[in-house]
Amino acid sequence: MAIHVGIVGGAGYTAGELLRVLVHHPGVEIVFVNSSSNAGNRLYDVHEGLLGETDLCFTADLPLNDIDVLFLCSAHGDSAKFLSAHSVPEKVKIIDLAQDFRDESNGFVYGLPELQRERIAACNRLANPGCFATAIQLALLPLAANGLLEGEVHVNAITGSTGAGVKPSATSHFSWRNNNISVYKVFEHQHLLEINRTLKRLQANFDADVNFIPVRGDFARGIFATAYTECDLTESEAVQLYKDYYSTAAFTFVTDTNPDLKQVVNTNKAIVYVKKHGNKLLVISMIDNLLKGASGQAVQNMNLMFGLDEKTGLGLKPSGF
């Protein structure tokens, strides 16, 4: 029996990627895609890659009684406003792709499967993690889970322009972004809140700083994060720790060779690489910011919430060249 899906905020990048995955998901029927500004237009009028994939139109209606799960893809802050203004039937599961409930308020569960797969499978309201937060947490979870974070963590992570959203801005304009690079929100990026919550949950005595420098890249999609911290483990011990932690993960893989970003772009994969340099442990973690960092992870979570295999509908091939 198909899972009946509704989507609110259907015109942005995350909604476009969500639709690209869901139109080919074998267990899903898309009931509506809500966008008041695009009501009546075909989905492919906005998400041009959907031409030939679906003839569905955007709608201003919200037939909430006809769906099993509602994806909220609007801007940060709008999810809370939507739920305050609309009565969503109790039978409808909610997956929020904004940051409104990542603190697990209002009955939401934080949706990082590598952290709490069982709680996700049992929940009705899910807060999908942020893109930087996903990549950085995947670099640190095995250490925190084993009480091995002993000091400050230093993180540098570069992201593609799609991370800034579909609405043009001075720093996402092609003429500025192309052949250019810059940092922003140094040491104060909003995703640090959820990263620190997770680390404290796994290792209660961790009270050091996560020094995060976000970087704007001159490419469209993907996040390449490098994290390092002091660690007493040998390299072989650290590699085995990571492989053991992610041995049952559906999409997170520990590689023995220095990776490159194209291995994950256009997929729901996360690739992690561990290397020891003196007394410092270096961890590289990389994802596609629109998939494992947003819409792909949301579908992975939907699969868990409805008792499906996590990988259903997510057999995506990386764009290697």
Residue 273 DSSP label: E
Share of the chain above pLDDT 70, in %: 99
E-strand spans in the chain?
3-8, 28-34, 69-72, 93-96, 109-110, 125-127, 153-159, 182-183, 210-216, 223-230, 252-255, 270-277, 280-287
- Residue 36's pLDDT band (boundaries 50, 70, 90)? confident
Residue 73 DSSP label: -
Over the stretch 97-137, which tens digit does the pLDDT of each residue have?
999 999 999 999 999 999 999 999 999 999 999 999 999 99
Alpha carbon of 138 to those of 56, 121, 286: distances in Å?
36, 19, 9
pLDDT of 173: 78
Average pLDDT (155-179) is 83
pLDDT of 12: 87
Which candidate in 57, 73, 123, 131 is catalytic?
A: 131
Alpha carbon of 6 to those of 31, 65, 75, 191: distances in Å?
6, 10, 17, 27
The strand order across the sheet containing 109-110 reads 28-34, 3-8, 69-72, 93-96, 125-127, 109-110
Return the residue matching tokens 């002091």.
230
**Annotated catalytic residue 73:** no
Domains and CATH numbers, the chain: 3-128+294-305 (3.40.50.720), 131-287 (3.30.360.10)
**Residues composing the chain:** 321
Q: 131-145 and 113-122 helices cross at what angle (nearest 10)?
A: 100
Alpha helices in the chain (DSSP H): 13-22, 43-46, 78-85, 113-122, 131-145, 174-177, 192-202, 235-245, 295-305
Over the stretch 251-274, which tens digit does the pLDDT of each residue have?
999 999 999 999 999 999 999 999
